[in-house]
Homo-oligomer: A and B are copies of this chain.
Amino acid sequence: MKIAQVAPLFESVPPAQYGGTERVVANLTNELVRLGHEVTLFASADSSTRGKLVPMCPRALRLDTGCRDQLAWHVLMTECVAAQADRFDLIHFHIGHFHFPLVRRLDVPHVTTLHGRLDLPELEPLYNEFSDMPVISISDAQRQPLPMANWIATIPHGLPETMFQFQPEPEGYLAFLGRISLEKRVDRAIAIATALGWPLKIAAKIDPADVGYFEQEVRPLLDNPLVEFVGEIDDQAKGSFLGRARALLFPIDWPEPFGLVMIEALACGTPVVAFRAGSVEEVVEHGRTGFIVDTDDEAVAATRRVTTIDRRTCRQSFEQHFTARRMVERHVSVYSQVINAKAASVQVAI
C-alpha cells in the first residue's frame, strides 16, 4: 500500500524526549515500511524515519521559540497533503480534527487517529457534524464522550519488541514517569511510597504551563529522603529507569486516553499499580500484570503485594498485545477496510 502518515509538528518524529503522539507515528511508520509498504511521512524536518520524509517545517515547533503562529505550519501541511492526495491509497491523520472540512472534499480514503482526551464540551457539536469521518480510538474508554463519531477501530499503542529489554531482577524502588501536572498526581505517588517506606524515583517533564503547580504543590514534597527527582529522561535512560523498578506507579486522576508508559513498563517486565480511569482497565490485567485500585489505601496495599506479580507475565502481556508489529497488523487491516468501503461507495455512486 501507498500510505501517507500526517504527524503533528510540535515534536519531531520520534520526539527527542517526552511526547506520545509523535512516538507512536514513528513506530507505526517504521513498522509499515518493514512490512513492505510505501510510507510517506509528513512531519518536522528534524524527524528521522524509514519512510520517505516530507519535511513540513524546519524543526519541532516546541523547540522553535521564534515561531509565533504554529497553526500556519499546519495549514501549509494540510494543503501539501491535499495537493498530492491522489498519490496515496490512504492518508492517515494524527492532527486532531483540524483537517476534517478539507478531507471531506477529497476523494482519497483517509482515517484519523484521535490521540487526545475527548471529554471537552466543544467536541460534541463538532462530531455531530463530522459523524461521517472514520476515526480510530486508542482505547475504548476514550470514545465514551463521543458516541456519535464514526469509530472504525480501537488500536492500542505498540512499541518495537526490542526497544526495552526484559529485566528479571529489579532493584527496590518504585518509579513514576510522566508530565508533572495536576492530572498525573505525582503527589499520590509520593504518598504511597512514604506510607510503605519504599524509595521512589520520579522522572518527569515540566511544561511551562505547569511550573506554578510544580513550585507550589510538588517541590515541597520532594524534600523527603525516600524521593529522588531525576528530571526528563530520554529513551536510552528510560529502559533502565523502568526496568530496575519494583513497580510503576500510575496514580492518574483524569481520563487517560492510553498511557504509553504503562506498556513501556510492561515491556521491561515491571508491573503497574494504576488508579482506575480512562484506558487503565484495557492495559493492566488486575492481579496478573499489576493492580488496579480506586483509593490511596488500596494503592498502598496493592503496591505492598506487587512482588507477587510474575515479571515474565508482564513481558508476555506486552509481547501479546502491545508490540509495534501487533499495532501495525491492526492498522493494515483497518486500512484495507477503509479502502474497500470507499471503493464500494464509488461503485454505488456510478
Contacts and interface: CB of A to CB of B under 8 A. Distances in A.
Nearest to A79: B101
Contacts of A123: 69, 72
B79 A121 contact: no
Query: Quick one: which of A72, A105, A123 has the most chain B CB within 10 A?
Result: A72
A178 to B, nearest CB: 19
A123 B70 CA distance: 10
Contact of A125 (B76, B97, B129): B76
Interface in A5-61: 57
Nearest to A119: B68
Contacts of A120: 67-69, 72
Contact of A122 (B68, B82, B96): B68
Contact of A78 (B66, B73, B82, B101): B101
A254 interface: no
Interface string A104-148: 110000000000000011110110011000000000000000000
Counted per complex, copies of this chain come to 2
Nearest to A77: B101
Given A66-B121, A105-B105, A121-B66, A98 B71 contact: yes
B98 A75 contact: yes
B102 A101 contact: yes
A213 interface: no
A104 B78 CA distance: 12
A229 interface: no
A129 B83 CA distance: 11
Interface in A289-337: none
A82 to B, nearest CB: 6
Interface in A74-91: 75-76, 78-80, 82
A79 B122 contact: no
Contacts of A78: 101
Contacts of A126: 72-73, 75-76
A68 B121 CA distance: 9
A75 B57 contact: no
Contact of A57 (B71, B76, B122): B122
Contacts of A79: 100-101, 104, 129-130
A102 to B, nearest CB: 5
Contacts of A71: 71, 96, 98
7 contacts: A66-B121, A68-B122, A69-B122, A73-B122, A75-B97, A79-B104, A82-B105
Given A79-B101, A82-B105, 15 more contacts: A67-B120, A67-B122, A69-B120, A69-B123, A72-B126, A75-B100, A75-B101, A75-B126, A76-B126, A78-B101, A79-B100, A80-B129, A82-B101, A101-B102, A102-B102
